[in-house]
Amino acid sequence: MFEQKFLRLDGFSKEERIRMTARVSEAINQAGAWITDCHLYSNVLICINFEVPNTKLDKLAAFLQETGIN
């Protein structure tokens, strides 16, 4: 059995919401992670839950930085 650990990432952008959501989603997929849930709040906030192996965290960080999210 393995111990599950949690990571919380917060980011923001002044980019158009749909475009940035697509960029972040693609970054998550490119890193070898998978989206498990997604919630939109008041057309200004999105919460994306995803799972990623700890061996892919560096890759995830690199792809997320390329999106332009802060």
Distance CA 31, CA 3 (A): 21
pLDDT at 43: 78
- Tokens 């498990």 — which residue? 36
Cβ(31)–Cβ(9) below 8 Å? no
Q: Residue 29 above 80 pLDDT?
A: yes
Distance CA 31, CA 52 (A): 8
The confidence band for 42, taking pLDDT boundaries of 50, 70 and 90, is confident
Burial of 60 (0-12, 13-18, 19+ CB in 10 A): buried
